[in-house]
Amino acid sequence: MTVRAFYAAGTWRTGEGSFEVRSPYDGSVVAEVGIPTEADVEETVASAAETFRDSRHLPVHVRAEALAHVSRRLQERAGEIAESVAREGGKPIKWAAVEVSRAVSTFRWAGEVLRRGDEEFVRLDTEASLGPRAGIVRRWPVGPVLGITPFNFPVNLVAHKVAPALAVGAPIVVKPATATPLGALVLAELVDETDLPKGMCSVLPVPSSVAEAMVGDDRFRKVSFTGSPAIGWHLKGLDPRKRFTLELGGNAGVIVHSDADLDHAAARIAIGGYYQAGQSCISVQRILVQSEVHEDFVERLVKQVQSLKVGDPLDPATDVGPLIDAGALDRVAAWVDEALAEGASALSGGRRDDPFYEPTVLADVTADMKVCKEEVFGPVTTVQPYQTFEEALAVVNDSRFGLQAGVFTNDIERAFQAHRELEVGGVVINDQSAFRADQMPYGGAKDSGFGREGLRYAMEEMTEPRIMVLSNLPL
């Protein structure tokens, strides 16, 4: 098998040695990818720093057209790229296609935000002592960006780091998950087709130890990390002065109140908890149901969950694919077995069928069980009753995480109450927690991290405002 090259400092290279990317479904070798050398890494970082001297001054039309080109090419190659996502990560092809379509809009949105502009005119003649003055506020990129991405969205999570960086004129070096590096390499191909400087985007499939050293490199002025809390906070501690965006996962709570459409809630939760074998940081994990409708809703939910098709990711009918590797499968199985031993009951699933874990609904859970207090990151949800809406809000908040939450209710006052009280980055009304539109601000609180992605918001995170004060104006 030909070694797949990586993209470093504007050139395609194979480095020294290689590693295999294997399908989580059947273990077949999907690709063999070259490993960057120490010299490759150094040249790439140096190139990003050098490129920044000029890239921050690139005209808007150059950056916007590059983003539009990547968006168009993603659309043209959508079928091919979706199949690659399904093969390397085990994501069902129906959801892989959705991911690619989202990446198309992610790059399109970045170009639209860029063309819209962000300049601000500020009146400064607000006091007699200030005189006839005004200010123009513009945003400037802080410097080269290091983007570190996880396995579960190998195209669109990379896009959410690359697109805003290119939009603001900041060179970016991407360290993709070595389990799923192919999506990032495809994006590098498409950026390479544009007129942007060749040092604007590099993809280095290096080990985590090398990425850690890169975080500490002073030439990177911004790090955007998506992954586990333990790793994210560790990396942040390496350089407290450096700008970070951390998206560190969660154990999302979803509230189903008695006034909700129960069929709609059950159908949407069955998707949100299992569509990617639960391997999404905003996947539904904890379901809280008002006691008056608890039994009725649980019956509907279990029926929906049991209708999900588990199987080959390339089968268009498959809803739930395999977990990413044997280690993840072992962990999920161990946590469920532990919960069952401690008194939980499985209303559906509760068993492994390698490389899959059956879509599982657990009842009779307690707050101290791992399946409730930690991030399962697998096809497992818990369901429990509550009496009052305030009680449900408190249970959702009783977590070290705070990324997103869902609330099913037709009462506008409860919707606003949830928005006010829930300690999360996003509250989704009448849908499950896994909803995300790519232009919306996305990020969390508490151990779920800080900072926001979502094009305009990510662009703000990668820039800083600078005011120019104009004096003696005929205002």
- CATH number of domain containing 147: 3.40.605.10
Whether residue 472 lies inside any domain: the answer is no
CATH number reported for the structural domain that contains residue 377 in this entry: 3.40.309.10
Sorting pLDDT into bands at 50, 70 and 90, what band is 118? confident
Model confidence pLDDT, tens digit, residues 435-462: 999 999 999 999 999 999 999 999 999 9
Q: If we measure between CA atoms, which residue out of 199, 145, 207, 197 comes closest to residue 176?
A: 207
- Residue 321 has, within 13 A of its CA and on its CB side, a CA count of 28
What residues make up the domain containing 344?
A: 253-438
Judged against a pLDDT cut of 90, whether residue 242 lies above it is answered with yes
Residues 385 and 301 grouped into a single domain: yes
Whether residue 108 lies inside any domain: the answer is yes
How many domains are there within the chain? 2
So what's the pLDDT on residue 1?
82
Residues 242 and 274 grouped into a single domain: no
Whether residue 233 lies inside any domain: the answer is yes
Residues 294 and 375 grouped into a single domain: yes
Rounded mean pLDDT, 234-240: 92
Q: Is 201 part of the annotated catalytic residue set?
A: no
Spatial separation of the C-alpha atoms in residues 188 and 456, rounded to whole Å: 22
Model confidence pLDDT, tens digit, residues 247-306: 999 999 999 999 999 999 999 999 999 999 999 999 999 999 999 999 999 999 999 999
Choice among 88, 99, 281, 372 that is catalytic:
281
Residues 11 and 151 grouped into a single domain: yes
Model confidence pLDDT, tens digit, residues 315-351: 999 999 999 999 999 999 999 999 999 999 999 999 9
So what's the pLDDT on residue 5?
98
So what's the pLDDT on residue 369?
98
Q: Which two tokens stand for residue 235?
A: 């990396």
Residues 395 and 455 grouped into a single domain: no
DSSP state of 220: -
Choice among 43, 88, 99, 247 that is catalytic:
247
One-letter amino acid at 390 equals E
Spatial separation of the C-alpha atoms in residues 408 and 168, rounded to whole Å: 38
Residues 261 and 238 grouped into a single domain: no
Q: Is 372 part of the annotated catalytic residue set?
A: no
Q: If we measure between CA atoms, which residue out of 446, 454, 451, 455 comes closest to residue 253?
A: 446
3-state DSSP assignment of residue 261: coil
Sequence-distant contacts of 335-343: CB under 8 A, at least 24 apart: 335/370, 335/371, 335/374, 335/376, 335/380, 336/360, 336/362, 336/371, 336/380, 338/369, 338/370, 339/365, 339/369, 339/370, 339/371, 342/366, 342/369
Residues 290 and 307 grouped into a single domain: yes
Whether residue 443 lies inside any domain: the answer is no
Residues 136 and 151 grouped into a single domain: yes
Residues 106 and 244 grouped into a single domain: yes
Residues 69 and 168 grouped into a single domain: yes
Residues 312 and 399 grouped into a single domain: yes
Whether residue 475 lies inside any domain: the answer is no
Residues 148 and 261 grouped into a single domain: no
Whether residue 194 lies inside any domain: the answer is yes
Whether residue 474 lies inside any domain: the answer is no
Whether residue 299 lies inside any domain: the answer is yes
